[in-house]
């Protein structure tokens, strides 16, 4: 009887139609049940009494999980206030990282996760948002200087890249 006499179980294999064939007799036994029954796509696996239905969809679980990482509340507030108060200045990542006691590398990753943009791009977008407010009362040149651009042309190019219109066109639309 093959492996049974040696103390080992009889070897078997599963066929495509969930039947088992024993290697010693080469006969198939169709009365055996399949090894596993996988649920249909999108159907819950079961119900846990405390937690409710358990699904097999991994993306739904990931959407329900809170985002981890990023800056802490006090760090987010400190960085936001610093950028708002120093819009017209050049701000380095290392200065912002030191402000919240992180390494520049870790700060840059946490900042992007928190604010959705890298630090420099966020700083530039805040400059443009401030410029939009100032364009109602000041000339384009005065706004460019107020938000930290050395030349009106560089301000105009940055404004157009961000908003899609020139500062003059934006001002006329107001």
Q: Give residue 59's pLDDT.
A: 55
- How far is Cα 168 from Cα 166, in angstroms, rounded to an integer? 5
Quick one: which of 118, 135, 122 has its CA closest to 82? 122
For 133-154, the pLDDT digits (tens) are: 999 999 999 999 999 999 999 9
Contact 25, 13 (CB under 8 A): no
56 pLDDT exceeds 70?
no
- How far is Cα 88 from Cα 93, in angstroms, rounded to an integer? 16
- Cβ count near 56 (within 10 Å): 14
Q: Is 13 helix (H, G, I), strand (E, B) or coil?
A: strand
Structure-model confidence comparison of residues 126 and 4, the more confident one: 126
For 74-127, the pLDDT digits (tens) are: 999 999 999 999 999 999 999 999 999 999 999 999 999 999 999 999 999 999
For 17-40, the pLDDT digits (tens) are: 555 555 544 555 545 555 555 555
């Amino acid at each position: 009887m093959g492996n049974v006499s040696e103390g080992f179980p009889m070897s078997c294999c599963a066929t495509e139609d969930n039947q088992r064939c024993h290697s010693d007799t080469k006969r198939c036994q169709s009365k055996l049940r399949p090894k596993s029954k996988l649920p249909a796509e999108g159907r819950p696996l079961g119900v846990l009494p405390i937690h409710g239905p358990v699904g097999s969809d991994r993306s739904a679980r990931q959407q329900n999980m809170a985002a981890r990482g990023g800056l802490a509340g006090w760090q987010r507030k400190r960085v936001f206030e610093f950028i708002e108060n120093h819009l017209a200045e050049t701000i380095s990542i290392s200065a912002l990282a030191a402000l919240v006691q992180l390494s520049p590398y870790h700060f840059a990753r946490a900042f992007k996760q928190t604010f959705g943009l890298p630090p420099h791009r966020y700083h530039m977008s805040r400059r443009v948002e401030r410029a939009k407010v100032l364009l109602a009362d000041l000339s384009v040149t005065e706004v460019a200087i107020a938000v930290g651009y050395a030349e009106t042309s560089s301000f105009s190019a940055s404004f157009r890249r961000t908003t899609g219109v020139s500062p003059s066109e934006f001002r006329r639309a107001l």
